[in-house]
A and B are shown apart, each in its own frame.
Chain A
């Protein structure tokens, strides 16, 4: 037996991305894979780093771990059949994506939504935002080495999930909005649970402040780390708390009002430092803002239908045309573009997800930081991977 003269795999050994990334590397540096197993990447995101000792010289996020082709799936399904996908694009703020899809198709077809349904949408979406920020808070601190806060966050999350289960039937990947309203009306039990949650949270937020926010170790890890100036944030198209942490008061709920958000009184939380602490504080402030919006919506909840009596049913054909609709998710601006050719299946769907733009920042702001700071910066961007890989 003789071996072939040339190995057919020659030149293909090793990892493609690492080899391409290593081409520009200095001889005295180390190429380090941060993830997909590293806890601070939450499993699926991988970042290639070129390290000089403890310092990051270059950073390159590598995408494509959970590619699911949501946009292509939309072009193979009836409009209403695409709803369950929305809960999977961002599993932490699924209702915002539900709203983005429902709102886009409603705008395309000129569908009317009853006032009560709009209020229910606001309540559910804000509760879901609180849920998302609580999970981020716990997981971020876990990345930074604090184990107990996630237990406290999950205690409060549990209450929100119980409430949302009452109206959506699910606990994470919600699929409860429909064209022209929402699937289920809210009942007296939901309202009473919601009010007791609103009464409980100020004390809990105070406890969070005592436990972590004022902590000298946390401040040492976050203050002055990963500074994103306003122009850099704008250049990369960052949105949400990342942009507002850099001093830009852009919030889709205020800038391009949708639903009935213009009827609620709340301030858009903004911080000007641009560092990890600023992004942290924006999210903590947003928890309070969302609680305030939910309280106002509960107080003003009107009577009426939770779904329009003439709402389209089953597979239906919206008129031909194209439309863009944006909502404010927990991570930033969620956009849905739909082109319809008048059939029961969308001709083209494009999703604009905030995590993709926010992650793109990392390659620039990660340069020159310590490895431990890179973990803090990556966490402060609050990434949800299916949004990036959609």
Chain B
């Protein structure tokens, strides 16, 4: 019997490789699964849930103006210290009008889970909003906790650049650019 064992094992080994080659040959004739970027791009519908860098959401009445109330909660919660919000404090007797907290991003929980702004009584005017994206870890705390529903994720999956400066954004300027193109008001984010 020992004489037969070695040839049987050799045949079994060869057969295992034939079975493996059959898989390879079968797959050779299947359609390709990959996308040949940059000749092709991922369909936009596949990017609906993609979390790119954050961007501001335009107010309902003026898409070029951010809903942001300048409370600074996003910057306070950011673990990477990558947000810089500059706001001017207005006189307390100014009319305070907090924007609607309607959900602006399908990814985020309903606004009832959002934190209260640091001060509900001190009205502020947003002067500038800067994002240093190259230190952002995309945790989503800013978007989740924004009391005004003023932040959302962009779907900019093809963001690339040769210098750090390319990843530092003036989000207010970006919002104005989006509004000029007619794509900033509520709803879905745009790259």
Measured CB to CB, the residues of A under 8 A from B are: 77-78, 80-85, 87-88, 148, 152, 155, 158, 162, 165-170, 173, 175-176, 178, 183-185, 207, 210-212, 214-217, 306-307, 309, 311, 313-315
Q: B77 touching A81 by the CB < 8 A rule?
A: yes
B137 on the A face (CB < 8 A):
yes
B183 on the A face (CB < 8 A):
no
A33 to B144, CA, bound (A): 47
Q: Mark B48-80, 1 if CB is under 8 A from A, else 0.
A: 011100000000000000000000010011111
B162 on the A face (CB < 8 A):
no
Q: Which residues of A contact B97 (CB under 8 A)?
A: none
Measured CB to CB, the residues of B under 8 A from A are: 12-14, 16-17, 19-20, 22-24, 27, 33, 46, 49-51, 73, 76-80, 107-109, 112-116, 137-141, 144-145, 153
A304 to B112, CA, bound (A): 15
Which of A84, A207, A215, A309 touches B79 (beta carbons < 8 Å)?
Answer: A84
Q: B16 touching A170 by the CB < 8 A rule?
A: no
**B138 to A, closest residue via Cβ:** A170
Which of A82, A148, A158, A170 touches B51 (beta carbons < 8 Å)?
Answer: A170
Q: B138 touching A175 by the CB < 8 A rule?
A: yes
Q: B23 touching A77 by the CB < 8 A rule?
A: no
Can you name 16 extra interface pairs (CB under 8 A) apart from A85-B79, A175-B137, A216-B14? A77-B79, A81-B78, A81-B141, A84-B137, A148-B24, A169-B50, A169-B107, A170-B138, A175-B140, A207-B23, A211-B24, A214-B16, A217-B17, A306-B109, A313-B114, A314-B115
Q: B13 touching A216 by the CB < 8 A rule?
A: yes
**A176 to B, closest residue via Cβ:** B140
> Considering the complex of A and B, which 5 residue pairs feature the smallest CB-CB distances, nearest first?
A169-B51, A216-B13, A81-B79, A84-B137, A84-B139
A162 to B77, CA, bound (A): 28
Q: Which residues of B contact A307 (CB under 8 A)?
A: 109, 113
Q: B108 touching A313 by the CB < 8 A rule?
A: no
What are 28 A-B residue pairs whose CB atoms fall within 8 Å in the complex? A80-B77, A81-B78, A82-B79, A83-B141, A87-B137, A152-B27, A155-B33, A162-B46, A165-B49, A165-B50, A168-B51, A169-B51, A169-B153, A183-B109, A183-B144, A184-B107, A184-B108, A185-B109, A210-B23, A211-B24, A216-B12, A307-B109, A309-B112, A313-B113, A313-B114, A314-B73, A315-B76, A315-B77
**A156 to B, closest residue via Cβ:** B33
A180 to B6, CA, bound (A): 61
Q: Which residues of B contact A175 (CB under 8 A)?
A: 137-140
A78 to B139, CA, bound (A): 13
Q: B23 touching A211 by the CB < 8 A rule?
A: yes
A51 to B14, CA, bound (A): 34
Q: Which residues of B contact A165 (CB under 8 A)?
A: 49-50
A300 to B24, CA, bound (A): 38
A336 to B153, CA, bound (A): 30
**B145 to A, closest residue via Cβ:** A314
Q: B145 touching A313 by the CB < 8 A rule?
A: yes
**B48 to A, closest residue via Cβ:** A166
Interface centre among B17, B113, B137 (most CB of A within 10 A): B113
Q: B138 touching A215 by the CB < 8 A rule?
A: no
Q: A210 touching B19 by the CB < 8 A rule?
A: yes
Q: A216 touching B140 by the CB < 8 A rule?
A: no
Q: Which residues of B contact A216 (CB under 8 A)?
A: 12-14, 16-17
Q: Which residues of A contact B153 (CB under 8 A)?
A: 169
Determine how close the nearest CB of chain A comes to the CB of B108; give it in whole angstroms. 7
